[in-house]
A and B are shown apart, each in its own frame.
Chain A
């Protein structure tokens, strides 16, 4: 499913999108993805683990390490995604070296063939993204860019022009990781980024309350990662708790 179709569908109902991140290969990924979708996740962002994840905080780093130790790799990743059998948009989040090594064209084709319709690469700024963007466009895959509190001026305009699917607004300076509050910079970024494309806010969201505040602030979606990964890391009652947290957050987005 294309990401834009999902946002169109949500718009009709006046709903905000819950975009759930987990790292593939950490735990029973298929069971985890299905639990998130049952709980109400509209889009699933599946991390493809890389050995040196510089944009991630300790929670997701640890998840990536567990996934790598368990043997996750790009071949297995695409194989697993193919077998998921879900009808929400799937997005791959990974670092550029894994894409580069596989070959840009082959990577995007693998995405398309396995049902992935979006790519997020936190260490690939728009300036370096021309070639990957070309393959994405040719294969019906969205290339999703991040916008930080520090992104301004001509660079912001460039990202707004290039980004497809949705715009990933980073709510604060820093790496991924769950926080209790909503950063003051969030509202400021939301106001500043003027676009027709859907805006989703990520980095630090862990509760329905925070998520509701962000949707009220003008976002079309929230991205939640570390809060789910914390549950996976605990190993306790994982599937039920993931579904419950997804439901709690999703129910606050209406």
Chain B
């Protein structure tokens, strides 16, 4: 590859979408170019991020955790963002963009309901009609999140096709968009999908890494030795990593869900570790690493945390993993659960099960010296939503 192609990260990324959508993704590309540096747009987004979402979030020195592992551990507190996760950074950005583009309707997909909830918040706040596709199975498992979205005026549409989970909700949202592209913005929830989504979502989530950089310089006068983030589609990970990509002395760890084992059956993987063991392919509009069978049929994924339970991963992460700039890793359901309890007890912070995978990586490798002396862990969300899951595991 001698020249950087637009919308590609090395050979990853691209725009593999039905013809009906091509003009829409091109329009989005142009409109984003137009507004991303527009002073009025930026000022308005900054306002919402500050006064509505509660940014900046603290970079917190986890003292007891640091003592236990013999490394200085900082937690980036995205769990304190309105809604309880980093997801709102992106939904506010995209909803505002949709408003500037003159779109009258937002659609989104959601797995457990985190992105759906964040979309509902942005939609309600900006006064844009919002509909969220959610797998029928997920709706049953996450009744409270469905109700939260409904309280904010969002219509939640059950998806009964395929495995009735996140990947099918994305399929269904894409089908809706195909039918309504003229007045509808598809507000995708992670750095996945066709170009320009991976770039747009990365940019809106980069607020995390930009803050970390400033905060760590204030506190330590230097950059951290490593940064750890959990990785489903990869939006909190790339958002945290991106401002550090050129700082090659900072190690970046993308921790995927190792689930209940790194094997696969005929139709399903027991994990969601597409960066670690996925194979190259094309899913949901982008060339990336995917969990698939030898014929290219997409495998269902598994994780105890619904937010990491996805068969693909953002194309830019696939690229950065291949170049060696980021290191893919994974931690299992059980390791994440242990980390969930540990942070709750030791720091008085109940982490999301997604974020617990990043915390578990600290526990796993702290002894090896691999992480250096100062580590930043992105605490992508809070765990209140996960209490039922944890209780079911009969914990404590």
Contact = CB atoms under 8 A, between A and B. Distances in A.
Interface stretch (B129-137, B218-226, B295-303, B363-371): B295-303
Interface in A142-195: 145-152, 155, 159, 170, 173-175
B22 A101 contact: no
A151 B179 CA distance: 14
Contacts of A102: 295-296
Nearest to A48: B295
A99 B23 CA distance: 24
A233 interface: no
Interface in B145-172: 161-162, 167-168, 171
Contacts of A7: none
Q: Is the interface of B mostly helix, strand, loop or mixed?
A: mixed
Contacts of B174: 54
Interface stretch (B10-18, B37-45, B76-84): B10-18
B178 A175 contact: yes
B281 interface: yes
Interface string A85-97: 0000000000011
B295 A145 contact: no
B313 to A, nearest CB: 15
Interface string A54-68: 110110010001001
Contacts of B14: 128
B181 A173 contact: yes
A139 interface: no
Given A128-B15, A151-B22, A57 B296 contact: no
A50 interface: yes
Given A51-B298, A96-B282, A128 B16 contact: yes
A53 B283 CA distance: 10
Interface string B216-255: 0000000000000000000000000000000000000000
Which of A97, A147, A159 has the most C-beta atoms of chain B within 10 angstroms of its own C-beta?
A97
Nearest to A57: B175
A100 B281 contact: yes
Contacts of A65: 161-162
A128 B294 CA distance: 23
Contacts of A128: 14-16
B206 interface: no
B144 interface: no
A16 B19 CA distance: 25
A97 B17 contact: no
Contacts of A252: none
A47 B290 CA distance: 23
Interface of B: 14-20, 22-24, 161-162, 167-168, 171, 174-175, 178-182, 279-285, 287, 290, 292, 294-298
28 contacts: A52-B162, A52-B167, A54-B284, A55-B175, A58-B161, A65-B161, A73-B295, A75-B295, A96-B16, A97-B282, A97-B292, A97-B296, A100-B281, A100-B296, A101-B295, A102-B295, A122-B18, A124-B16, A125-B17, A125-B18, A148-B20, A148-B23, A150-B22, A150-B23, A150-B24, A155-B23, A173-B20, A175-B179
Interface of A: 50-55, 57-58, 61, 65, 68, 73-75, 96-102, 122-125, 127-128, 145-152, 155, 159, 170, 173-175
The 6 closest A-B pairs by CB, nearest first: A101-B296, A174-B179, A148-B20, A146-B19, A51-B297, A98-B296
